[in-house]
């Protein structure tokens, strides 16, 4: 799952490392290698992967846009990392004209360049052959499918059995031909009222955020002005694109793995992030997620939020239910993504999506002091015996969770004015808690804590609601003697 899996020395990690080596050997045997040869090749593959992993940033470092934003000219890349062949990459058939490249992790590229210069060609052939076969395994015969599932799902996440084959194939189609599946999904399942109603919730939450920025005591007026501008410029995409991906140049056959490869090749050139777009103007209409996905995201480099149709369904949104519940669930998600524009990462980008510091030094210090309370709070959450949440890794999501529910609550109170309903606030907070209902197997939970910038669902509820003053007003029976009670001085207040 990430670089540190190769280097941890605890019992569980050593067991996963051994299970992975056994997986490599079994894949190579399935591909026709004798057992002895597969054992030797496994050592080669694992050693190369471990060397490449060592060159990567850690999960926490990956969250720092100052470290992961690195623009090079082709000439600079050829001079600094000559073994990689940048000229070949820059002239892939179908690509637009390349003059510069964004290198997410220069340290990795340096490590790759060194390995290309020193590792024997035969080792590269072994390594790349294995990678090709392993990545194709879910689309080959049952033996390859089962072996791939056994490691990547059962060993890593504790999943006991595969979905039926038709479900796996539909998932593959949804992933690789997202807009073809998405058009059918939208026609069948999207309520015609959805876009307008969701847009209304957006507007209410945006107005609430704007008002709260004005009222911040810890932020200076110049920084507030820039924050207002960024919020006003933040784009929103709701339910589905107005222009669908064109698949007319994609040729499919009766080969499952062949179709997967063809679809990926087509997407590389013509997809939402296709190379043919290089050198042209930024297309703000492009969607990077198909409408049937149950997900949402904020893109700091485009300063926009995207909410596909899949998440605009019960139990997260229902046009016919109590507005308190729609604001508690979908409103929380909307507020969460909006707050990402102002979390510890997003705040480093300006209204146009450029990496630019628009904060005064004092305001940045005030912000960091307030977020430090969140880091300490989440560091104390024990997900499994001896395994604690990483408050620094999850900081951005925790800021967005706290800000998101705060915004959703106040937008709901202002817009719906439920003052004549004494139980409305209780319904709101109970509804909010249902957003993160989930069951996690221990293996999955362990992997999530070690690698995921999101906190486990349990703490996305308990870590947020008990920081909100209005929660205690809705439930006055909660007091200082209760396990999850947080004293007012320990509750972070950011946005």
Does one domain contain both 226 and 88? Answer: no
Task: Express as a percent the part of the chain with pLDDT over 70.
Answer: 100
In this predicted model, what pLDDT tens digit does every residue of 1-29 receive, in sequence order? 899 999 999 999 999 999 999 999 999 99
Does one domain contain both 36 and 118? Answer: yes
In this predicted model, what pLDDT tens digit does every residue of 84-118 receive, in sequence order? 999 999 999 999 999 999 999 999 999 999 999 99
- CATH number, residue 110: 1.10.1380.10
Provide the number of structural domains found in the chain.
2
**Residue 417 or residue 471, greater confidence:** 471
Does one domain contain both 203 and 122? Answer: no
- Confirm whether 61 is domain-assigned: yes
d(CA 351, CA 185): 33
Which of 146, 162, 178 is the last residue in one of the domains? 162
Does one domain contain both 105 and 234? Answer: no
- Confirm whether 121 is domain-assigned: yes
- Confirm whether 278 is domain-assigned: no
In this predicted model, what pLDDT tens digit does every residue of 115-131 receive, in sequence order? 999 999 999 999 999 99
Between the two ends of the chain, the Cα-to-Cα distance in Å is 33
The model's confidence at residue 420, banded by pLDDT at 50, 70 and 90, is: confident
- Confirm whether 262 is domain-assigned: no
Residue given tokens 């939208």 in the structure block: 186
Q: Give the residue numbers spanning the domain of 80.
A: 3-162
pLDDT given for residue 205 in this prediction: 98
DSSP letter string, 402-466 = HHHHHHHHHHHHHHH--TT-TTHHHHHHHHHHHTT-----HHHHHHHHHH-SSPPHHHHHHHHHT
Does one domain contain both 122 and 59? Answer: yes
d(CA 178, CA 308): 12
Sign of CA dihedral 84, 62, 347, 205: positive
Which of 110, 142, 162 is the last residue in one of the domains? 162
Does one domain contain both 43 and 128? Answer: yes
Does one domain contain both 99 and 210? Answer: no
- CATH number, residue 427: 3.40.390.10
d(CA 452, CA 69): 21
Does one domain contain both 153 and 230? Answer: no
Burial of 162 by CB count in 10 Å (0-12 exposed, 13-18 middle, 19+ buried)?
Answer: middle
CA distances from 348 to 65, 274, 300 (A): 8, 27, 9
d(CA 58, CA 35): 35
pLDDT given for residue 268 in this prediction: 96
Does one domain contain both 425 and 319? Answer: yes
Does one domain contain both 102 and 209? Answer: no
Per the document, the length of the chain is: 495
pLDDT given for residue 84 in this prediction: 95
pLDDT given for residue 56 in this prediction: 96
Say which residues have a Cβ less than 8 Å from residue 19's Cβ, sequence separation at least 6: 151, 155
pLDDT given for residue 417 in this prediction: 86
Does one domain contain both 376 and 457? Answer: yes
> Is the model's pLDDT at 419 over the cut of 90?
no
Does one domain contain both 351 and 444? Answer: yes
289 and 306 Cβ atoms separated by less than 8 Å? yes
**Mean of per-residue pLDDT scores for the chain:** 96
- Confirm whether 461 is domain-assigned: yes
d(CA 227, CA 223): 6
Sign of CA dihedral 175, 180, 185, 191: positive
- Confirm whether 186 is domain-assigned: no
């Amino acid at each position: 799952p990430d670089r540190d899996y190769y280097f941890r020395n605890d019992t569980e990690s050593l067991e996963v490392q051994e299970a992975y080596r056994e997986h490599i050997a079994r894949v190579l045997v399935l591909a026709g290698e004798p057992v002895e040869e597969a054992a030797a090749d496994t050592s080669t593959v694992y050693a190369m992967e471990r060397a490449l992993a060592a060159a990567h940033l850690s999960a926490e470092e990956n969250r720092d846009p100052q470290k992961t934003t690195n623009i090079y000219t082709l000439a600079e890349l050829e001079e600094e990392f000559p073994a990689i062949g940048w000229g070949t990459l820059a002239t892939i058939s179908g690509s637009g004209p390349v003059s510069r490249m964004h290198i997410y992790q220069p340290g990795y590229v340096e490590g790759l360049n060194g390995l290309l210069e020193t590792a024997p060609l035969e080792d590269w052939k072994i390594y790349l052959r294995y990678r090709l076969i392993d990545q194709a395994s879910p689309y080959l015969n049952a033996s390859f499918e089962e072996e791939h599932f056994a490691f990547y799902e059962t060993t890593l996440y504790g999943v006991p059995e595969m979905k039926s084959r038709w479900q796996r194939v539909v998932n593959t189609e949804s992933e690789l031909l997202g807009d073809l599946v998405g058009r059918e999904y939208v026609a069948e399942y999207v309520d015609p009222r959805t876009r307008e109603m969701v847009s209304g919730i957006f507007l209410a939450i945006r107005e609430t955020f704007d008002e709260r920025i004005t009222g911040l005591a810890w932020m200076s007026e110049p920084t507030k002005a820039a924050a207002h501008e960024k919020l006003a410029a933040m784009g929103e995409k709701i339910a589905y694109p107005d222009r669908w991906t064109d698949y007319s140049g994609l040729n499919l056959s009766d080969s499952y793995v062949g179709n997967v490869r063809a679809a990926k090749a087509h997407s590389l050139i013509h997809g939402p992030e296709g190379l043919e777009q290089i050198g042209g103007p930024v297309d703000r209409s492009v969607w990077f997620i198909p409408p049937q996905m149950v997900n949402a995201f904020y893109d700091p480099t485009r300063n926009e939020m995207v909410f596909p149709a899949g998440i605009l369904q019960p139990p997260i949104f229902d046009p016919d239910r109590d507005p308190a519940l729609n604001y508690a669930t979908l409103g929380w998600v909307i507020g969460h993504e909006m707050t990402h524009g102002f979390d510890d990462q997003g705040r480093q980008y300006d209204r146009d999506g450029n990496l630019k510091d628009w904060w005064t030094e004092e305001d940045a210090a005030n912000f960091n002091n307030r977020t430090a309370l969140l880091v300490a709070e989440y560091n104390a959450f024990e997900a499994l015996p001896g395994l604690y949440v990483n408050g620094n890794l999850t900081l951005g999501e925790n800021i967005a969770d706290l800000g998101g529910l705060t915004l959703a609550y106040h937008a709901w109170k202002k817009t719906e004015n439920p003052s004549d309903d004494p139980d409305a606030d209780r319904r709101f907070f109970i509804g909010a808690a249902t957003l993160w209902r989930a069951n996690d197997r221990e293996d999955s939970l362990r992997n999530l804590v070690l690698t995921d910038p999101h906190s486990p669902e349990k703490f996305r509820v308990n870590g947020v609601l008990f920081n909100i003053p209005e929660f205690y007003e809705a439930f006055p029976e909660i007091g200082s003697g209760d396990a999850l009670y947080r004293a007012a001085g320990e509750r972070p207040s950011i946005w």
